[in-house]
């Protein structure tokens, strides 16, 4: 059977884990698992077959030779992936670079990159016969899980921090039938509780500690490189919260190199929010001292004080000679306003990528002639309150760029003309 051929081992102690049962953390040492694909050189044309059961030509499952092999009848796919890279001159100027690409993972079925990992995680859950799949979430994971569980005929259970989930994400989870439990406290508390629950009951945990999720998230990088004709950029920048994606990107680059699809490894740069930056502090200490923080930021998707994938992410940064930094909420919101104003749009956490690139170019960490691709992790509509808060309210501090306030007038042509005078006569 296929599942027996998947090699899973603990990255800390090397303990082996069978893929025929739910996979969470190492029972021996509490470490996280990684899937070893035992890759041999691959051909660039190896990715043209639909392995999602023939239903869709998925932008994840088309990369099957770089993924664990699951039984075809257990694959739950919603045609995820196949996202665009935008190259916009105004964005490049804002970053201080001649060119910068933004790969928009908000174009996935539920509006965030989480779908790429979820299709693999939920498919594995189905392959091992799980009936209940669960996650703790800052919002997007639960929206994605609700969707994929429903598509695969399973019940989803999500634990979320009460009152701290962006409206669009909560709405998706409710509408798509997740059993939702809100707990007092933050994401870190929600995840700790869920881990206790899944240790006691037959509930399959699909948080990003799950190695199958990371395998799916690798395809962001694989697809990006294919879009760039396998010419690696100098830098890949992404926001960092729980750091599953940073870990997945490191594994993607490792695997692509092992398969001889690239001969040069781009530098990964993870950007955190200043109020939720334990990884950035850890990096600044030369990966010597790690301390969890109490997280606070407008970018709720990265509001995490004790990232689960910290050590895997450290290895990704070390492997790629990468960098970690943090940006303020004002910097995030300003960068977001430029991304939005260019017609691209994203949720706040995503804009940390661009804010971080701008900061690192100014600081000389990124060369002014570097090729850079940033990841936009989620769709603008995920967090409509952040938009209205910025443009109509006080969010974003003094001097915020691109403020765009709707006005109200009485219903007469005269009033309309007076209001639009400047626009019509220019
Ligand atoms: C989950 C998420 C992140 C953070 O990714 P991690 O893997 O937790 O570091 C960033 N942005 C958005 C929109 C997300 O949904
Ligand atoms: Zn272990």
Domain of 263, CATH number, reads 3.40.50.1100
User: Strand runs (DSSP E) across 162-304, as ranges?
Assistant: 179-183, 204-205, 235-239, 267-273
Q: Whose CA is nearest to atom 8 of ligand 1?
A: 242
What strands lie across the sheet with 267-273, from one edge to the other? Answer: 85-87, 100-104, 372-376, 235-239, 267-273, 323-327
* Within a domain: 359: yes
Give the model confidence (pLDDT) of 326-357 as tens digits.
999 999 999 999 999 999 999 999 999 999 99
Q: Is 239 in the pocket of ligand 1 (CB under 6 A)?
A: yes
Residues 6+ positions from 210 with CB-CB distance below 8 Å: 23, 24, 117, 121, 124
Q: Is the predicted pLDDT of residue 307 greater than 80, yes or no?
A: yes
Identify which ligand lies nearest to the alpha carbon of 34: 2
Q: Is 352 in the pocket of ligand 1 (CB under 6 A)?
A: no
Candidates 246, 241, 223; CA nearest to 81 is 223
Ligand 2 mean position, distance from CA 74 (Å): 28
Ligand 2 ion: Cβ-proximal residues, 5 Å cutoff: 10, 12-13, 15, 26, 28-29, 31
Identify which ligand lies nearest to the alpha carbon of 245: 1
* Within a domain: 74: no
Q: Is 213 in the pocket of ligand 1 (CB under 6 A)?
A: no
State the chain's mean pLDDT as an integer.
94
CB 103 within 8 A of CB 373: yes
Substitution site in 83, 112, 218 for ligand 1 pocket (most atoms within 8 Å of beta carbon): 112
Task: Name which of 40-49, 118-127, 250-259, 355-364 the model is least confident about.
Answer: 40-49
Q: Is 114 in the pocket of ligand 1 (CB under 6 A)?
A: yes
Q: Is 349 in the pocket of ligand 1 (CB under 6 A)?
A: yes
Binning pLDDT at 50, 70 and 90, where does residue 102 land? Answer: very high
Q: Is 144 in the pocket of ligand 1 (CB under 6 A)?
A: no
Q: Which long-range contacts (CB under 8 A, 24 or more apart) does 40-46 make?
A: 40/259, 41/259, 41/260, 42/66, 42/259, 42/260, 42/261, 44/226, 44/230, 44/261
User: What percentage of the chain carries pLDDT values higher than 70?
Assistant: 100
Candidates 124, 5, 147, 27; CA nearest to 74 is 124
* Within a domain: 241: yes
User: According to the model, what pLDDT value does residue 285 have?
Assistant: 98
Ligand 1 mean position, distance from CA 239 (Å): 7
Substitution site in 244, 280, 377 for ligand 1 pocket (most atoms within 8 Å of beta carbon): 377
* Within a domain: 230: yes
Structural domain range at position 277: 85-110+213-392
Ligand 1 mean position, distance from CA 43 (Å): 31
Q: Is 207 in the pocket of ligand 1 (CB under 6 A)?
A: no
* Within a domain: 291: yes
Q: What is the pTM of this model?
A: 0.96
Distance CA 293, CA 172 (A): 29
- Atom from ligand 1 closest to the CA of residue 140: 15
Ligand 1 mean position, distance from CA 15 (Å): 28
DSSP code per residue over 73-94: GG----------EEE-HHHHHH
- Atom from ligand 1 closest to the CA of residue 378: 13
Distance CA 57, CA 75 (A): 13
Ligand 1 mean position, distance from CA 12 (Å): 24
Ligand 1 mean position, distance from CA 238 (Å): 9
Q: Is the predicted pLDDT of residue 55 greater than 80, yes or no?
A: no
User: According to the model, what pLDDT value does residue 17 have?
Assistant: 95
* Within a domain: 385: yes
Residues 6+ positions from 369 with CB-CB distance below 8 Å: 98
* Within a domain: 4: no
Q: Is the predicted pLDDT of residue 208 greater than 90, yes or no?
A: no
* Within a domain: 185: no
Q: What is the DSSP letter of 187?
A: H
Question: What is the tally of structural domains in the chain?
Answer: 1
Ligand 1 mean position, distance from CA 20 (Å): 28
Give the model confidence (pLDDT) of 229-253 as tens digits.
999 999 999 999 999 999 999 999 9
């Amino acid at each position: 059977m296929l599942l027996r051929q998947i090699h899973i081992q603990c990255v800390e102690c090397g303990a082996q884990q069978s893929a025929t049962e739910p996979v969470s953390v190492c029972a021996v040492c509490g470490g996280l698992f990684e899937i070893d694909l035992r890759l041999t050189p691959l051909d660039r044309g190896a990715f043209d077959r639909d392995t999602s059961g023939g239903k869709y030509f998925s932008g994840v499952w088309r990369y099957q030779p770089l993924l664990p092999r699951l039984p075809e009848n257990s694959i739950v796919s919603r045609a995820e992936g196949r996202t665009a890279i935008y190259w916009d001159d105004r964005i490049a100027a804002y970053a201080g670079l001649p060119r910068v690409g933004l790969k928009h993972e908000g174009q996935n079925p539920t509006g965030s990159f989480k779908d790429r990992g979820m299709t693999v995680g939920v498919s594995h859950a189905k392959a091992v016969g799980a009936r209940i799949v669960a996650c703790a979430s800052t919002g997007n994971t639960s929206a994605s899980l609700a969707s994929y569980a429903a598509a695969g005929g399973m019940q989803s259970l999500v634990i979320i921090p009460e009152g701290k989930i962006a409206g669009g994400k909560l709405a998706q989870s409710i509408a798509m039938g997740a059993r939702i439990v809100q707990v007092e406290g933050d994401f870190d508390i929600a995840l700790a509780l869920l881990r206790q629950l899944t240790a006691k009951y037959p509930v399959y945990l699909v948080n990003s500690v799950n190695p199958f999720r990371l395998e799916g998230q690798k395809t962001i990088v694989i697809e990006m490189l294919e879009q760039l004709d396998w010419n690696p950029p100098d830098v890949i920048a992404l926001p960092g919260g729980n750091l599953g994606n940073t870990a997945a990107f490191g594994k993607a680059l490792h695997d692509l190199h092992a398969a001889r699809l690239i001969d040069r490894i781009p530098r990964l740069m993870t950007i955190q929010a200043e109020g939720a930056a334990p990884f950035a502090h850890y990096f600044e200490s030369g990966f010597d001292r790690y301390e969890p923080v109490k997280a606070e930021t407008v970018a709720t998707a990265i509001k995490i004080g004790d990232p689960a994938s910290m050590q895997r992410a450290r290895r990704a940064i070390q492997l790629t000679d990468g960098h970690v930094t943090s940006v303020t909420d004002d910097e995030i919101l300003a960068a977001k306003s430029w991304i939005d104003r260019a017609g691209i749009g994203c949720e706040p956490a995503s804009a940390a990528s661009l804010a971080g690139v701008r900061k690192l170019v100014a600081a000389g960490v990124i060369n002014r002639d570097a090729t850079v691709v940033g990841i936009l992790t989620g769709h603008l509509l995920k967090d409509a309150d952040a938009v209205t808060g910025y443009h109509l309210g006080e969010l974003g501090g003094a001097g915020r760029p691109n403020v765009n306030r709707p006005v109200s007038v009485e219903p007469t042509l005269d009033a309309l003309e007076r209001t639009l005078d400047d626009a019509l006569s220019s």
